[in-house]
Amino acid sequence: MKEIKTIEFKEDALYLIDQRKLPVSYEIFECRTYKDVYYAIKEMVVRGAPAIGATAAYGVVLAAKEFIDGEKKEFLSNMKKALSFLNESRPTAVNLMWAIERMNNLIERNRDLSVEDIYMKLKEEADRILKEDIETNKRIGEIGNQIVGQKATILTHCNTGALATAGFGTALGVIREAFYSGKDIFVYADETRPRLQGGRLTAWELVQEGIPAKLIADSVAATLIRDKKVDLILVGADRIALNGDTANKIGTFMLSVLAKEYNVPFYIVAPTSTIDFSIETGDEIVIEERDSKEVTHIENIRIAPEGIDVYNPAFDVTPNENITGIITEKGIIKPPFRDNIIKLK
């Protein structure tokens, strides 16, 4: 196993693999302030719901470090503003809000401590979030491996590996575990337009691990599924509603429809921190729309004519009826999803 340190905090700075630069170059993006963290999340230096959550937690630590010399009242006021600012960096990934709320709750529980002690507790909590995510992902991999057959051909979408998490991965973590356990698997990785996370990131991780795989254009998936060349589809999630509706990278819904039509098992793979217990259905999920340049340009080279309008949603919502199961660190959630999800609260 090759260790990929997506997120590392040392010497009062947060270091992130700059995922905008892979696979052409391996570069580290340094965050010295919480505003640097906001930029890193918003501009997709770091992406993937679990990775965003852990990164945001360290953004809170950097904010506390910045305001540590102020009076208690001023410190708490500044922290409230910083947390609100970080919370706005991306609207869809619930792990961002989950991590910010967890850090805010810690501040509220320790308001009577000194500013220095609050800072230390925040740093310990961020470290805990990072460690928990890696442990959670490995457990998800072990549980998910139970549904991967020997010689299975797996289709995946976007990037759900170590780069999308604090380490190891969710859907790609299941694939990793299956490969490590000796199963003779094969992976088809969607390129995942428009930002090509599959082509740039998943393909890079698969090559690093030596997992047999082929990269495909997104539009190839339908033919492979129809021709019975895919045994299993594993994808990640950015937010899961109580009824099991799931927001994930744009193109996931399309795969789920094909999977249902051709009877291919379709699994969501995500930690329980990705479940938003405050919303009933996917209709309540805010879908981020990103810059049109992501569609009209590749590596700053224009591929579409000037003047064309663009619709560029970052995510879509897969309805629960298209989902076979949701693989989490607490087991595989099966229908009826709402009944079984509510038990995890």
β-pair type (232-235, 239-240): unpaired
What average pLDDT does this structure show over 301-308?
Answer: 97
Mean pLDDT, to the nearest integer, of 16-22?
A: 96
Residue 2 has a pLDDT of 63
Q: Which helix (H) or strand (E) holds 253?
A: helix 252-261
What pLDDT, on a 0 to 100 scale, did the predictor assign at position 56? 97
Q: How far apart are CA 73 and CA 80, in angstroms?
A: 11
* Segment 84-101 mean pLDDT: 92
Q: Angle 51-55-61 (CA atoms, 0-180°, nearest 5)?
A: 155
Write out pLDDT tens, residues 140-178: 999 999 999 999 999 999 999 999 999 899 999 999 999
CA–CA gap between residue 82 and residue 62 (Å, rounded): 10
Domains in the chain: boundaries: 7-138, 139-342
Fold of 139-342: Rossmann fold (3.40.50)
Residue positions in the annotated binding site for substrate? 47-49, 90, 197, 248-249
Q: Which amino acid is residue 213, in one-letter code? A: A
CB 267 within 8 Å of CB 325: yes
pLDDT class for 3, splitting at 50, 70, 90?
confident
**Structure tokens, 149:** 């057959």
Any catalytic annotation for residue 133? no
Q: Where is 106: in which H helix or E strand?
A: helix 94-109
Q: Which of 16, 19, 18 is nearest to 6 (CA)?
A: 16
The pLDDT score that the predictor gives to residue 345 is 82
Which residues partner with 234 through β-bridges? 156, 267
Confidence band, pLDDT 50/70/90 cuts, at residue 1: low
Q: Angle 290-164-301 (CA atoms, 0-180°, nearest 5)?
A: 40
How far apart are the C-alpha atoms of 78 and 331, rounded to whole Å? Answer: 40
36, 238, 245, 276: which is the annotated catalytic residue?
Answer: 238
Give Cβ neighbours of residue 292 (< 8 Å, ≥ 6 apart).
Answer: 309, 310, 312
From 31-40, 86-95, 256-265, 331-340, the region with the lowest mean pLDDT: 86-95
* CATH number for region 7-138: 1.20.120.420
Q: Are 175 and 142 in contact (CB under 8 A)?
A: no
Q: Which residues are annotated as a binding site?
A: 47-49, 90, 197, 248-249
Average pLDDT on 181-207 reads: 97
**DSSP-assigned letters across all residues of 13-26:** EEEEE-TTTTTT--
Confidence of residue 94 (pLDDT cuts 50, 70, 90): confident
